Amino acid sequence: MYVDTDTILELAALLAAFGTLGALLYKVFKWVERQKEQDAEIEAIKREQCVMCYGLLATLDGLKQLGANGNVTNAYEKLEKHLNQTAHDWDGK
């Protein structure tokens, strides 16, 4: 078997193509994994915000019971409406 310059160049081009393909596949894999991590982080943030909203609603309810009017009542109604509208999007876990 005779190995000339053209054979070496073709082999080098083939190795470069495989290397590029491998690097591209690795980047796609890392991107998908990062998206999964971000989805988990977003879900945790949503749960935390839900708990905070319920705490805020309880605080506003307490203020209403103590006789606060005006902005307290408006904020309570808006927050309660928001929680009722988004309740079907949250699975309660």
Please state the rounded mean pLDDT for residues 55-67.
93
Please state the rounded mean pLDDT for residues 51-59.
93
CB 60 within 8 A of CB 72: yes
**Residue-level pLDDT at 40:** 96
Domain boundaries, the chain: 5-89
Tokens describing residue 20: 């590029």
pLDDT band at 2 (very low <50, low <70, confident <90, very high): confident
84 three-class SS: helix
Cα separation, 83 vs 77, whole angstroms: 10
pLDDT band at 70 (very low <50, low <70, confident <90, very high): confident
